Structure 1
Amino acid sequence: KVVRCAIYTRKSTEEGLNQEFNSLDAQREAGEAFIASQKHEGWTLLPRRYDDGGFSGGNAERPALQRLMQDVAAGEIDCVVVYKVDRLSRSLLDFAKLMGTFEEQNVAFVSVTQQFNTNHSMGRLTLNILLSFAQFEREIIGERIRDKLSAQARKGKWKGGIPVLGYDVDRSTPTPKLVVNKAEAIQVREIFELYLSMGSLLLVATELNDRGWFSKRWTTKSGRKRGGVEFDKNNLHALLTNPIYIGKIRHRDDVFNGEHAPIVEPALFFRVAERLKRNAYLPNPRSRNKYGSLLKGLLYCRGCGRAMTHTYNTARKRRYRYYTCISVLKQGRAACPSRSLPASEIEKAVVDQVRCIAKDPALRRAVFDETQVHLRQQLEECRLNLAVSEREIKWLEEELKQTTQTGSTDSEMSKLAADLQERLSREHHKYGKLSNRVTEMEAAEIKASDIARTMENFDNLWSTLSPKEQWHMLSMLIQRVEFDATESSFEIFFEDAGIAALSHAAEGSAR
């Protein structure tokens, strides 16, 4: 009987694979010699190669292994030959699954250097013992890495991983140390001060991006460029809550005194922490409307793109309300030419324009056409962001795979793997939200009748609502109002989903 044999080889890292004769070749050569020694039993080597270079044995997500198992399932292989058991898998669970598949397909498994064959009961017993020890060894290594990281943290030493803005890594000593980057340290202190003055992660992130500031740029040991991304709420929050800036090292839930120099005063750090804590319990900005301003969260300055926030002055015991561009409030008149608008005037003008649209069929049609265009643009932008997120996930997965496949117990690599896993989890969450948004937008169908029904009922509904309810209605109907200071004009952008929702509400109340 002919026994068709396939040789599987694996190496955890890519180091040395470009050599003329590498580790995979050596493993294959040993397998070929063993198969040749069994020629009298009918063993013959299949020409197809199953080589996984640069892949960890900790999981089964390996291209050559997947091809091997597909060929096993197709009945094209009678015996799988490896140099050592752990070349096929280091995971007892994965190995048990592979062995189960081999048994179902009547495929033998042979380890060349450990001299056993699963065709025999003694070979199967030996295999299970070897795998148990391999799994035990892997768990012990993991415990040692965790203990080492914990010991480093208690001594105040940097645990490794992704460098943070404000510090460089000095690798001239046996244990890498953090040293202050003076230019970046100035930026970090400015970021803390900005948050105290603005009180919003989103506003601060926008301000930093407007200034052209980026997250920490760094180079890996292999020479790859990393970091240098724009600020968002997530990475800004991580920066503002990192105790490393006050000379501390955080390990899990514990914080220890670090051996590196602080760059932020503890008083400033804890004031920011308290502000973050307070803001975490506040409702959405659009829902905070103490003075009943109708355009709260809706009015934007066309000149600089920033929001126009509701402000007021008190004179002769009367309160005068205004909308003022945030750029002007934070940076002065030189930052933006937009002037403060009397709140009652701009609110009345916006409501009157909505009323005009409600009464004019031609204007209603124009709003419908504009809304459709805007919806398509939003959908296209959302799809683009979804594609970008998908690429980011693939990149992070590849980076994580390369990091874990090195098999290194180095603390820096372990921290890097943990950071990559955390970023991957956040990106998956972001992808899920974007995917849901795309699905919702694709399912949304704004009809001309929705526009007509909503607008025709606007006056009837408006007169019966309280100021808070009127603001809520505008928030559903309008996405944003852009004020152009140079032209003293404004433009209304309608909320696509809100039009349909108000239309259905009006339809229901009419029944």
Structure 2
Amino acid sequence: MVIFIYSRKSKWTGRGESVENQLAMCRDYIQYNIEGAGEAEIVTYEDEGYSGKNTNRPQFQKMMQEIKKGRCNYLVCYKLDRLGRNIADLANLVETLNKLNVSFISIKEKFDTSTPIGKAMLYFAGVLAQMEREQIAERVRDNMVMLARKGRWLGGNTPLGFAAEAEEKVSVNGKSRKSFRLAVDEQEMQTVRFIFREYLKNQSLMGIVKYFLSHGIQTKRGNEYTTTAIRDILTNPVYCTADKEAYEYFWNLGCQVCMEKEEADGKYGLIAYAKTSSTQYKNKNNSPEKWIVAKGKHPGIISGQDFSKIQNLLAKNSSKGEGWHKPQNPVALLSGILYCSCGHLMRPKYYSSKQVTESGERKFSYLCPYKGMTHGEKCSVLNVQGNTLDELVCREVLRYTEENSDIHRMLKEVMERMDDTKEETVTAADLMEQEIQKRKKEVQNLISVLAKSGGEEAFIQQIEKEIRKLNEECAFLEKERTKSGEEGKNIQGDRQQMEVLLEQLSSFRSLFDTLTVPEKREYLRMILDKVVWDGKEAHIFIYGSH
């Protein structure tokens, strides 16, 4: 008999129904209430930090896979809502368990689905669980609305142009905490004003990116600006003034606007909550109907009329797409691995359709987009004829496949040195293990002597001192042994990488003439780490050889 125990908690709090407590109570229940449990195999599945709103939980999914394979007789959990709060999910679960003759037991609600009354109770409890979930979601939203009406900044990375500023303390559950509001950082705000002004004037995200690149203007975190970063700024309501036009725009968008129209007097900016929903470590954009928009305590920098105009322009321009800068060339072999010496990926660009190679391929060149965006001020590396560079790189890789090539000999020599090093390292680890065991045995002997001693204090102190010394030596030796073991693992991993590389080189040579362009590209990406073009020469970097 196999019994599965499932436990879940949305977040760790250190008290209450912890995953460990749930498992312990389930084990106790199984021992005293399920016949033959003493001989049963008990398997536990734990999801710590996952909500019960759906079944997208790793251990739950793993458990269900095992159940569907017929490897379970009982499924036990502490409480029904540990499995989930969605009635549809629970109904599907019960149906699956019934089809597979798996009995489900919830020790808190005390029912068993193998009986009709237990099945009915399960559905009823599921309805209550879903009601509780919906009530929790409603309370959270009500709290957010309350906070929104106060215009507070709830934390996190502040938008460009703002800093978080503490104001009066607020009482939360009897505890005194600081509240924060957004304060303008005038130096950063100049960049924001430029972005809004330029987009209204030229309607080009890429134009702003090019200007920033050519003038060395970077993001708040010191990165280069992208069109996505510019768009995020242009669509953030925090920069919009809370005026009548803004009120109308967000109201018509379907947002929950937490202010009366009369309050939209243009004195402050807006603040928006729930624009994204937090999934597992990622943010997913919510629909406007879920946004909570309110008047903040900071000034807006763009009128509601201009803000809404920009949103319409962005929506209109996005339909055209901005995929021109993505490599669409079906001929280029080095797309994705060819870098300019300035550090940016180079992209292929076709010549006119009339220009073709002797084999009939359309001619193209590789160019650095950073050079184009900065008008040659930040990068002046010359373009390179793509068909020629692809052919030269392939020819060089084919030369590497020959057994008398420098790279082939080098890989063989490195593998031999790895074998020698591995043997020496393992021997050293074995010697250290012997020394560790020797000291541990001495410690045990000393403990025996200590137990038999007559209680003379000076003697006991001397023995304890010797034991501490031996334990310290053991700890040091164990660290060294671990280090040697890791070096051995790394060496083994590197050696396997070398072996794979030699196999890839060999197969590339034998198959090269029969491969299609996409297949050649994939082979090159397996063999080459990258290729760097400096304007005169191409530098080839092979995996594991540099």
Report which structure shows greater RCO (CA 8 Å, sep ≥6).
Answer: 1
TM-score (norm 1): 0.49
TM-score (norm 2): 0.46
